[in-house]
């Protein structure tokens, strides 16, 4: 496993680009290739990594061992239909492994679209903090996928953040929580900063304090292993400032609203599937 087989990324948007930039640290840019409907975008990303720009999705499917599908769920059917004949032709000689990050698309649904029940497929759900190597990436695979391939993909993804193996039945919940969750957190950071501005802080300081507060609080949960409620109580003195703020959040149905946001994102993921 010292040398990586060729890797292709169909799609060169934020998530595909982030994962391939991290993968290049492990596999080397020379082992990675891009293709995209917007070819100049793929070309620019390839040049930045010392990678290849494939001329088409078909060329990518013909050459790479690992084929990342970094396209929107609504685009995936057309891409799968285009590369299906190539993948079928490779099954007996040099089979490829698909790595899909499309929300709602199950392993079985991808195989059905390919009309190939024995195609190896790995399904992942990353999130945008992968752009700064701090992503949360859930992973599951078809039973027939070789263990060596799963290990290689996991190694590539670890350069972009934390990788966790989950049963596929949890993937839609993961999509609603960690896949969509960064947007909810960004909104919270923005609101915290707005609160600081309202209290008199300059905008730049308010945003810096808000972001660092969220970062540090998350680190406390992960590193101490303590329940968030326990950590909350450590900050909350009787008749103090924090309890007044918490009361305001509860009056605004803060926790219920966040729960509903995750549930709505989960529901949409199941609808896409």
Q: Tell me the percentage of the chain whose pLDDT exceeds 90.
A: 89
- The predicted model gives 148-166 an average pLDDT of 96
pLDDT in tens, 214-254: 999 999 999 999 999 999 999 999 999 999 999 999 999 99
Q: Strands 66-69, 97-100: parallel, antiparallel or unpaired by DSSP?
A: parallel
Average pLDDT across the chain, whole number: 94
Domain-by-domain residue ranges, the chain? 7-171, 179-272
Alpha-carbon span 198 to 171, nearest angstrom: 39
pLDDT score at 7: 95
Structure confidence at residue 1 as a pLDDT band (50, 70, 90): very low
- The predicted model gives 118-123 an average pLDDT of 96
Structure confidence at residue 162 as a pLDDT band (50, 70, 90): very high
Total residue count of the chain as it appears in this document: 273
pLDDT score at 12: 86
Q: Model pTM?
A: 0.91
pLDDT in tens, 108-118: 999 999 999 99
CB count within 10 Å of CB 136 equals: 20
pLDDT of 187 over the 80 cut: yes
Query: Which CATH superfamily is 179-272 part of?
Result: ProC C-terminal domain-like (1.10.3730.10)
Taking Cα atoms as reference points, which of 134, 143, 159, 138 lies closest to residue 7? 159
Q: Can 7-171 and 179-272 be said to share one CATH topology?
A: no
pLDDT of 18 over the 50 cut: yes
pLDDT score at 229: 97
Q: Compare 267 and 91 and report the one with higher pLDDT.
A: 267
Q: Helices 241-251 and 254-272 meet at what angle, rounded to 10?
A: 50
Q: Which one of 1.10.3720.10, 3.90.1150.10, 3.40.50.720, 3.30.910.20 gives the CATH number of domain 7-171?
A: 3.40.50.720
pLDDT score at 41: 85
pLDDT score at 2: 53
Which distant-in-sequence residues (6+ apart) come within 8 Å of 53 by Cβ?
A: 33, 34, 35, 39, 42, 43, 46
Tokens describing residue 83: 């590369």
């Amino acid at each position: 496993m010292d040398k990586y087989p060729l890797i292709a990324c169909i799609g060169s948007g934020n998530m595909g680009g982030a994962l391939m930039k991290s993968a290049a640290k492990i596999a080397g840019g020379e082992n990675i290739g891009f293709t995209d409907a917007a070819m100049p975008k793929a070309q620019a990303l390839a040049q930045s990594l010392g990678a290849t720009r494939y001329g088409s999705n078909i060329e990518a499917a013909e050459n790479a061992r690992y084929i990342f599908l970094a396209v929107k769920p609504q685009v995936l059917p057309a891409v799968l239909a285009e590369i299906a004949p190539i993948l079928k032709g490779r099954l007996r000689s040099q089979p490829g492994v698909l790595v899909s990050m499309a929300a709602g698309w199950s392993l079985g649904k991808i195989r059905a679209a390919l009309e190939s029940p024995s195609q190896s497929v790995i399904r992942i759900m990353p999130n945008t903090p992968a752009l700064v190597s701090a992503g949360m990436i859930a992973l599951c695979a078809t039973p027939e996928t070789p263990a060596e391939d799963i290990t290689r993909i996991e190694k590539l993804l670890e350069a972009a953040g934390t990788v966790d193996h989950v049963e596929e039945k949890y993937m839609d919940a993961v999509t609603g929580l960690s896949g969509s969750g960064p947007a909810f957190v960004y909104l919270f950071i923005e609101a915290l900063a707005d609160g600081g501005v309202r209290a008199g802080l300059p905008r730049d300081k308010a945003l810096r304090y808000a972001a660092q507060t969220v970062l540090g609080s998350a680190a406390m949960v992960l590193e101490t292993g303590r329940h968030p409620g326990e950590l909350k109580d450590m900050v909350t003195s009787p008749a103090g400032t924090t309890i007044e703020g918490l009361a305001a959040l509860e009056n605004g149905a803060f926790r219920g609203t966040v729960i509903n946001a995750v549930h709505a994102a989960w529901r949409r993921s199941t609808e896409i599937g």
